[in-house]
């Protein structure tokens, strides 16, 4: 049996609706509330919102099954970037694709001279939290701007293996 391989590519504006549908489905799966008028406004026009950053998708059989984004924080001049919207459809979990998404995002961040990555997440996203911990992220004591994010994590790229 041949193993299905995903395609990883930069997202375009045309992907916005499919990404939004997938992310909202995943949020509801974890009993989290989508916020299209606030936290999730970035999904309405990926190219515009991420013009200073980067947003990519994973496709399988021409269907978007995962996504991840990076945006410079206000302190980006200090090399601080935020990892955003890292989601993987439930049918594609357990294949190492979450690690693929994260590693590609970290590689992209390094290419943009990032020295630190921050992220906000919800404690119910236990699979993602485990991946962050395994990848060297550490939880920090501060609040995130998104109401559904009850945890904030960071990774010092100057100390993390490339």
Determine, yes or no, domain membership for 1. Answer: no
Confidence band (pLDDT; 50, 70, 90) for 4? Answer: confident
pLDDT at 5: 80
- High-pLDDT (> 90) share of the chain, %: 80
Kindly calculate the radius of gyration of the chain based on its CA atoms and give it in whole angstroms: 15
Q: What is the predicted pLDDT for the residue at 143?
A: 77
Q: Report pLDDT digits (tens) over 16-64.
A: 999 999 999 999 999 999 999 999 999 999 999 999 999 999 999 989 9
161 found inside a domain: no
Q: What is the pTM of this model?
A: 0.91
Comparing C-alpha atoms, which of 75, 153, 160 is closest to residue 110? Answer: 160
Domain that holds residue 55: 7-156
Task: Identify whether 52 is part of a domain.
Answer: yes
Structure tokens, 91: 């049918």
Output the 3-class SS for the chain.
CCCCCCEEEECCHHHHHHHHHHHHHHHHHCCCCCCCCCCCHHHHCHHHHCCCCEEEEEEECCEEEEEEEEEECCCHHHCEEEEEEEEECHHHCCCCHHHHHHHHHHHHHHHCCCCEEEEEECCCCHHHHHHHHHCCCEEECCCCCCCCCCEEEEEECCCCCC
Residue 162 lies in a domain: no
CA atoms of 37 and 13, how far apart (whole Å) = 18
Tokens of residue 49, six digits: 């919102």
> Any idea what the CATH number is for the domain that residue 35 is in?
3.40.630.30
Residue 76 reports pLDDT greater than 60: no
Check whether 12 has a pLDDT greater than 90: yes
The total of structural domains in the chain comes to 1
pLDDT in tens, 138-152: 999 887 778 788 999
Cα–Cα distances in angstroms (integers) from residue 77 to residues 80, 111, 112, 144, 145, in the given order: 7, 14, 11, 20, 20
Residue 65 lies in a domain: yes
């Amino acid at each position: 049996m041949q193993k299905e391989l995903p395609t990883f590519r930069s997202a375009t504006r045309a992907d916005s609706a499919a990404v939004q549908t997938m992310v909202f489905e995943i949020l509801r799966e974890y009993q989290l509330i989508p916020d299209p008028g606030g936290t999730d406004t970035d999904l309405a026009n990926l190219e515009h919102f991420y013009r200073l950053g980067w947003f990519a998708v994973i496709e399988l059989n021409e269907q978007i099954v995962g996504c991840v984004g990076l945006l410079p924080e206000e302190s980006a001049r200090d090399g601080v970037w935020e990892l955003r919207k890292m989601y993987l459809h439930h049918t594609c979990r357990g294949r190492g694709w979450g690690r693929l998404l994260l590693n590609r995002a970290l590689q992209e961040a390094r290419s943009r001279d990032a020295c630190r990555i921050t992220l906000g997440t919800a404690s119910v996203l236990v699979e993602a939290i485990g991946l962050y911990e395994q990848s060297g992220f550490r939880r920090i004591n501060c609040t995130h701007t998104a109401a559904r994010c009850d945890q904030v994590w960071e990774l010092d790229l100057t100390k993390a293996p490339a």
